[in-house]
């Protein structure tokens, strides 16, 4: 079977990510250059780090000259969520062979959202489809980063609020998840865990605590979550 079929399907499926990542990558490139950093720093980060939210957070690390230990700890807390939802993809990635390291590297929240909502297509080579989906998504992000850093290198204007673009994409994907699942319980659990952590937990530990609370509640209300 021609691999172009997998590539074509991956492109079609990834169009929502294309629309979001071009804008988000642009915002990231624009923000980092607004802090006086060279355009290629933004591009290198999008190629070798490629961690969406963490890249935006890294800008603040740079601005306050944070230490390596602080950066490592904060990065772990920001990305620990991927350790949890990545476990659900072990079966999908089982037979991906040499492509598996890149599939893991390119797994973002948005790619995960697509992989867990699209219908299985047994007529295609799945490992190449997963690979192209991850690769195309990173390419979209890199293109946006290049464009944003280029514009930011030659134009100066107020970038306040641009970091909210990542949150906006998460909201859209959450809505799409609900449309596919038609189950309100996981979203109510996530909402409760987030609000509780926001009120009672220090901001630097809020993310990991809200994830643990969500997991415990999902296990406790497992039957309702599965039935919907």
For 78, residues 6+ apart whose C-beta sits below 8 A from its C-beta are 51, 53, 54, 57, 207
Question: Using one digit for the tens of pLDDT, what is the confidence trace for 98-110?
Answer: 999 999 899 888 8
CA distance 2 to 125: 9
| 185 has a pLDDT exceeding 90 | no
Q: Which pTM does this prediction carry?
A: 0.72
CA distance 87 to 90: 6
CA dihedral 34, 39, 45, 47 (to 10 degrees): 140
| 170 has a pLDDT exceeding 70 | no
Eight-class DSSP state of 98: G
Residue-level pLDDT at 90? 81
Question: Using one digit for the tens of pLDDT, what is the confidence trace for 79-128?
Answer: 777 777 777 788 888 888 899 999 989 988 889 888 888 877 778 888 89
Instruction: Band the pLDDT of 162: cuts 50, 70, 90.
Output: low
Question: Highest mean pLDDT: which of 48-52, 142-146, 193-197?
Answer: 142-146
Check if the beta carbon of residue 169 is closer than 8 Å to that of residue 24.
yes
CA distance 103 to 105: 6
């Amino acid at each position: 079977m021609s691999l172009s079929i997998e590539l074509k399907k991956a492109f079609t499926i990834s169009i929502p990510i294309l629309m979001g990542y071009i804008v988000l990558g642009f915002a990231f490139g624009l923000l980092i250059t607004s802090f006086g950093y060279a355009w290629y720093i933004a591009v290198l980060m999008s190629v070798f780090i490629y961690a969406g939210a963490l890249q935006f957070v890294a800008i603040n690390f740079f601005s306050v000259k944070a230490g390596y230990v602080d950066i490592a700890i904060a990065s772990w807390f920001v990305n620990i969520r991927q350790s949890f939802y990545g476990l659900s993809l072990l079966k999908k990635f089982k037979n991906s062979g040499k492509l598996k390291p890149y599939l893991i590297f390119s797994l973002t929240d948005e790619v995960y959202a697509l992989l867990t909502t699209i219908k299985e297509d047994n007529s295609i080579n799945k490992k190449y489809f997963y690979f192209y989906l991850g690769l195309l998504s990173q390419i979209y992000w890199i293109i946006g980063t290049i464009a944003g850093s280029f514009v930011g290198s030659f134009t100066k204007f107020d970038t306040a609020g641009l970091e909210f673009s990542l949150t906006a994409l998460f909201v859209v994907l959450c809505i799409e998840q609900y449309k596919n699942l038609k189950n309100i319980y996981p979203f109510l659990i996530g909402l409760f865990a987030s609000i509780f952590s926001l009120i009672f937990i220090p901001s630097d530990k809020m993310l990991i605590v809200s994830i643990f609370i969500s997991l415990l509640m999902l296990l406790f209300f497992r039957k309702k979550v599965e039935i919907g």
